């Protein structure tokens, strides 16, 4: 079946612009996660959605970052007034049940010039 | 604060050898444990999951879990150059994943 789909695969933007990154999880997966990975670094947790519950936003680095998940499926991560330090690969993952692993999308590589 | 610790490496082993990757975690209620492999420039892919104490084997990979010691490891037998990647340990508590920073493995011919 289809895996986790992310778009765009690459995004180049100018400092100060807003960007939207999209994640389409695996059908039926109730949990959705956003991570950020800078070059050569580990995964940095950003936000987590579980069903219709309030999201866990504890990893968002600043109020310029926000995310939505509509209808329990597609999610959008928005970064306002982008800064050069926002440049990274943004990874989305989804998970089906309590004890199962998460499947990752291919990521969006964001470059802020 | 839930922490997952891995040796950052790099770990370098010759082709055909056993590569041993280690991970410790701080949260005693953790119940699900995963190993992901991440090739350079790619996203993580799941290679092993383990839920019970003991060993779990899948081909050349063996995961070992010791909940009392809060320790999970991954052994790669007959290492191949294609195994060269960063290996991420992940611990799941409830529905939240906690990842280690990864161990870089290089298998040289």
DSSP readout, A31-93? EEEEEEE-TT---EEEEEEETTSPPB-TT--STTEEEEEGGGS-EEEEE-S--GGG-EEEEEE
| Confidence band for A68, pLDDT divided at 50, 70 and 90 | very high
pLDDT for the residue A22: 97
| Confidence band for A2, pLDDT divided at 50, 70 and 90 | confident
| Confidence band for A41, pLDDT divided at 50, 70 and 90 | confident
pLDDT for the residue A100: 79
pLDDT for the residue B88: 95
CA dihedral A91, A106, B88, A74 (to 10 degrees): 40
Dump pLDDT digits (tens) for B45-69. Answer: 999 999 999 999 999 999 999 999 9
Cross-chain residue pair A91–B94, CB shorter than 8 Å: no
Spatial CB neighbours of A107, under 8 Å, sequence gap ≥ 6: A6, A9, A37, A89, A90, A91, A92, B43
Question: Considering CB atoms only, which of B43, B49, B101 is closest to A101?
Answer: B49
Residues of B within 8 A of A35 (CB-CB) are: 99
Residues of A within 8 A of B90 (CB-CB) are: 101
Structure tokens at A82: 């982008």
Q: How far is it, in rounded angstroms, from Cα B40 to Cα A35?
A: 17
Q: Of A100 and A4, which is predicted with more confidence?
A: A4
Of all residues in chain B, what percent carry a pLDDT higher than 90?
A: 81
Question: Considering CB atoms only, which of A42, A98, A105 is closest to B95?
Answer: A98
Spatial CB neighbours of B43, under 8 Å, sequence gap ≥ 6: A91, A104, A105, A106, A107
- Given a cut of 60, whether residue A1 has pLDDT beyond it is no
Please report how many Cα atoms fall inside a 13 Å half-sphere around the Cα of residue B78, on the Cβ side: 3
Length of chain B: 109
Q: Of B3 and B49, which is predicted with more confidence?
A: B49
């Amino acid at each position: 079946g289809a895996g986790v789909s992310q778009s765009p695969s690459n995004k180049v933007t100018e400092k100060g612009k807003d960007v939207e990154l999209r994640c389409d999880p695996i059908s039926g997966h109730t949990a959705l996660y956003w991570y950020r990975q800078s070059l050569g670094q580990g995964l940095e947790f950003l936000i987590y959605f579980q069903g219709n519950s309030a999201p866990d936003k504890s990893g968002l680095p600043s109020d310029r970052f926000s995310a939505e998940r509509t209808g329990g499926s597609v999610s959008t991560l928005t970064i306002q007034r982008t800064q050069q330090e926002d440049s990274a690969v943004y990874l989305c993952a989804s998970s089906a049940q309590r004890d199962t692993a998460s499947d990752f999308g291919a990521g969006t590589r964001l470059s802020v010039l | 604060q839930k922490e997952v610790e891995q040796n950052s490496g790099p770990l370098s082993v010759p082709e055909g050898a056993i590569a041993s990757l280690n991970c410790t975690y701080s949260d005693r209620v953790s119940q699900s444990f995963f190993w992901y492999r991440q090739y350079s420039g790619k996203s993580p892919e799941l290679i092993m999951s383990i839920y019970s104490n003991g060993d779990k084997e899948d081909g050349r990979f063996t995961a070992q879990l010791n909940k009392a010691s809060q320790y999970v490891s991954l052994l790669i037998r007959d290492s191949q150059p294609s195994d060269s990647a960063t290996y991420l340990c992940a611990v799941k508590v409830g529905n939240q994943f906690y990842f280690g920073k990864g161990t870089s493995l290089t298998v040289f011919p």
